[in-house]
Structure 1
């Protein structure tokens, strides 16, 4: 009996097929939501490592507990200013990497 070879796909190929090609509205929305989810998880992890409650972190940043909760659960788009304040309150470094027309720019 002949065996059939199983085709494997890369993650990029799967995203292209099921979410949309790079540059499409669907793919851009997916990538944005994924980045916001990762950012929220980083905030929550850093807060928990510092043994802070959401309310305590909110007080350090100057926002309500509910805004910290929304940041951590990615239900709210945050301004860069708020994100910077959160990481400063957590005594955590944050770095931004930007690619402009194939040129890599690093902001630290």
Structure 2
């Protein structure tokens, strides 16, 4: 007997909800915030900065940096850009519309 295999997309559709549904959008948002938080933490550690020192560079409290890194805070784009600027790190945003990557010229 052969077992049927499912793709990750099929599993997400079945157990989280189809793309475009509120449940799926919430899941994708949380996943993005988690990845962003991990990137901030890794960059901060590579620069040998404490959360407190990074907070001072950005102009926020240590607690806000902690929340960003643990994904418990929905930060504004402005704050995220300030954090990466303080880390002297480049950040690139990609926008894809109907399978075509949008490029600003």
Same fold (TM over 0.5): yes
With normalisation by structure 2, the TM-score equals 0.94
Aligned partner of 1:94 in structure 2 is: 91
**CA-CA distance at 1:98 after TM superposition:** 1.0
Per-residue CA distance 1:51-82 (angstroms, 9 max, x = gap): 10000000000000000000000000001110
| 1:23-38 equivalence runs, <5 A | 23-38=20-35
Q: 1:77 aligns with which of 62, 74, 79?
A: 74
Unaligned runs of 5+ residues in structure 1 are: none
Structure 1 residue runs of 4 or more that deviate by more than 4 Å after TM superposition: none
Partner of 1:67: 64
1:44 aligns with 2:41: yes
Separation in structure 2 between the aligned mates of residue 60 and residue 24 of structure 1, nearest angstrom: 39
Structure 2 unpaired stretches of 5+: none
Pick which of 83-92 and 94-103 moved more. Answer: 94-103
- Deviation by residue 1:6-38 (Cα, 9 ceiling, x = unmatched): 111110000000000000000000000000000
Q: Greater Rg, structure 1 or structure 2?
A: 1
RMSD across aligned C-alpha pairs, in angstroms? 1.1
Cα distance between partner residues in 1 of 2:90 and 2:103: 14
